[in-house]
Amino acid sequence: MIRGIRGATTVEANDEGVILEATEELVKELITRNHLLADDVAQVLITVTEDLSATFPAKALRRFSDWVYVPVVCAREIPVPNSLPMCVRLLLTVNTDVSQAEIQHVYLREAKKLRPDLTASNR
């Protein structure tokens, strides 16, 4: 079965190191909480708000040696007025037998505001 797993985090600066560190932290949490193997990940879509342009956050996934062949693409979020700034969002498409209710979506830092209903499940 194919499922989507969401995650988001924020950064404090439009800086390559800061963006990659936050993205790596988010990916580690997604992997840990959902017991993910790279071979089960069909693709990853990463979006950033328009105020983040210092790097491609996808570079953070290449820090995981077994994720080298996972297809990743970066895009820009729609600039909705008053939306959360300095935000990196991920959508992983994975093959899993886990039910939709058992998926652990991960929202870190200020991104917890995006989905407070799911943040409660961030144990």
Q: Give catalytic residue positions.
A: 6, 62, 74, 77, 89, 107, 115
* Residues shown for the chain: 123
Q: Which residues of the chain form beta strands (DSSP E)?
A: 2-10, 41-48, 72-76, 87-95, 106-107
- DSSP, res 78: P
What is the distance of C-alpha 6 from the center of its chain?
A: 6
Residue 15 token pair: 């800086």
